[in-house]
Structure 1
Amino acid sequence: MTDSYCLVSKMLFAKYNGNVPATASAWWKDLNSQCYGGQHGAWFDTGLLRRLGEGDSVLFWKDVWIGEEPLRDRYDALYCASAQQDNLVRDCGTWVAGEWNWEFNWNRFLSRQEEDLLVNLRIVVSAFSPSRGRADYWAWSNEVSGSYTVKSAYDVLHKQVQPVEGGIFKDLWAVRAPSNALALAWRAILGRIPTRDNLRQRNVLTETSDLSCPFCLHSIESIPHLFFSCNLSWRVWMFMYNWCGVSSVLPQDYAANFMQFLQGYGNQRWRQGAWAIWIAAINVIWYSRNALVFKDEEVNIQKVLDLIQLKSWSWLKAKIKGFSYTLFEWQSHPMLCLEVI
């Protein structure tokens, strides 16, 4: 795919003309996005190095085969004067008595400064020469062996993900809730919930698709809107605060919302229990949204609130030793129940 001269690359780029329409296959969308223009840029392309064999498929000036950039970028003045701009390595020299000699041709006489650059270029390429009987090949720069591995690719992408400040993920995964519920909250904080605006950005939905929030039908369905600023969601959170006997503003940023929820009450273990309420709210709002979209089930605000209380209570009762309060006691005095944690 990275080799623009290979048949598969030519075929795919001829079909899509360098652009990926919404109707393209899921495989090609993912490949193009991850390797050539996705969130992390051309990570795969930049991880490949061209290794010299006979030099019959490596472009002298344009391919990265010495160092970390093409020679045309390092010696741009010489490249502009070269009569061999599109030549392969094997066409930029000859074998004489078993030794390789570099030979360069120019479209004009070189200036004194360019002559100095040429001396430097000859020193650099003198350490390299084609190898008879050995094919050119690709090497993966992120492995000492030069071989591509899934682990090395994961490491490259993992390093490019911007960490959320404050150790929020450490706090999130310590919450007393089921792993699937925590995973949904984790995806929400990362902005990876498949809301309609996210699906549009990934070309899953077309430009003519309805992107409105299924709850209010007014605003575009984004993660901040769906979970926090939509009128229905806002009412849910206000009930949560009122239920816990506190008042607070409602941050629209998911990470800030998580960290601020019931902030200033109890120790870290207490907050891990309190965050179970936050996790339950995120999950119930999302599943209520899906029930509306896919099953046409009407959203009942009281049912949503009751389900949040039920889920958070059942999680804490199952995961915290000594949490023996009844559902009625939890619904009546949540802050006092959390004191046992």
Structure 2
Amino acid sequence: MPQGVVKRCKRILRTFLWGGVEGHRKLAWIKWDVVCKPKKLGGLGIKNWNLFNKALLGKWRWRLLREQNSLRVAVLRAKYKIPSYGEPVERGGKMSAWWNDILRTCFENSSLCWFDSAIKRKLGDGKLERREGRLDTWSWEPEAEGLFTAFIWRVLWGRLQTKENLKRRGIITGDQLVTCVFCNTDEESMKHLLFSCPFAAQVWNTYNRWIGLGAALPHDCWSHFPQHGLLFPNKKQRLGAQTIWLAITWSLWLHRNRVVFREWIKDAGKVFDFTQMRACNWLRVVSKNFCSSLYEWTQL
């Protein structure tokens, strides 16, 4: 894949993620290398086009190893004089640009070649000794991924557009106020806005009374979210609690934006009503066993 195409694809993805429009760039809150990391490593799992291009080329080496009797592999072996065990014997020369890309990407002269580190050779049937390599097979070592939403991902990274973050980025300057829109007292950091602000505390306390929870939770996001889940040993209850946690933080953030940009009157009761509605709708999607109506759900 030409580098120009790769850059164009990355530009489209960035514009979509950060909410920009064609020809107008919006502020990127997290490095693109982090965005492209797997979800279990704190990224969003968005496709890294350079790596994707490498994977497409690697697929052809995989075919050389696995599809010993296919016509396309036979043609490649004859054209490029590849021995039966899959390693090429010639580089450069009259070979096509496509094949040279495969050689450069997937047959690196290094013990740390990405392709070699991702496959495993099985001798014979796993019990017999290998004889002339004819019984050998190959397997790919897969990677697992976790589950994140784009919003909770930004919360955990501390990259919401709070006034504190905007000030740090130089967007809010001089004498512009950076106090919380809810309490008008403390600086509007993400930790304060979602957890320690008296307004947010009203919403969390209403939630605690709703489900009968009496534990005091920390104000730090990285501690608040996992500890919140640990309070519920049952898997179904934990899924429900974590969904409500996401609904509360999302509803607080949306309410903050509506107070700022639409001049809404701040109302903790309204935030919690929206929380219950959103959590109910989301649980219908993520849980096969959830069948409560909104009324039944709010009367827990």
Q: Normalised by the size of structure 2, how large is the TM-score?
A: 0.51
Which of 156, 160, 170 is the aligned partner of 1:203? 170
Matched, 1:273 2:240: yes
Q: Aligned partners of 1:256, 1:224: CA distance in 2, in Å?
A: 11
Q: Aligned runs of 1:165-314 on 2, under 5 Å?
A: 170=146, 173=148, 182-314=149-281
The aligned length equals 164
Quote how far apart the aligned CAs of 1:188 are: 0.9
Q: Is the 8 A contact 1:200 1:207 kept in 2?
A: no
Q: Which residue of 1 aligns with 2:42?
A: none
Quote how far apart the aligned CAs of 1:267 are: 2.9
Quote how far apart the aligned CAs of 1:270 are: 3.3
The runs of 5 or more residues in structure 1 that have no matched partner are 1-25, 35-143, 146-168, 174-181, 334-341
1:146-196 Cα deviation digits (max 9, x unpaired)? xxxxxxxxxxxxxxxxxxxxxxx93x52xxxxxxxx211210111100100
Larger Rg: 1
The runs of 5 or more residues in structure 2 that have no matched partner are 1-23, 32-103, 106-144
Alpha-carbon spacing, 1:221–1:323, altered in 2? closer, same or farther (3 Å) = same
1:238-295 Cα deviation digits (max 9, x unpaired)? 1111111111113111011111115232333431232000000010000000000001
Q: Which residue of 1 aligns with 2:65?
A: none
Q: Is the 8 A contact 1:228 1:250 kept in 2?
A: no
Farther off after superposition, 262-271 or 314-323: 262-271
Q: Is the 8 A contact 1:196 1:221 kept in 2?
A: yes
Q: Aligned runs of 1:79-158 on 2, under 5 Å?
A: none
Matched, 1:326 2:297: no
Q: Is the 8 A contact 2:203 2:269 kept in 1?
A: no
Percentage identity across paired residues of the two chains: 32
Which residue identity does 2:282 align to in structure 1? W
Q: Aligned partners of 2:231, 2:191: CA distance in 1, in Å?
A: 24
Which residue identity does 1:273 align to in structure 2? G
Which residue identity does 1:198 align to in structure 2? N
Q: Aligned partners of 2:197, 2:150: CA distance in 1, in Å?
A: 23
Q: Relative contact order (alpha carbons < 8 A, sep ≥ 6): 1 or 2 greater?
A: 1
Q: Is the 8 A contact 2:200 2:268 kept in 1?
A: no
Q: Aligned partners of 1:264, 1:297: CA distance in 2, in Å?
A: 34
Which residue identity does 2:169 align to in structure 1? R
Structure 1 runs of 4+ with >4 Å offset: none
Q: Aligned partners of 1:286, 1:215: CA distance in 2, in Å?
A: 11
Quote how far apart the aligned CAs of 1:309 are: 0.5
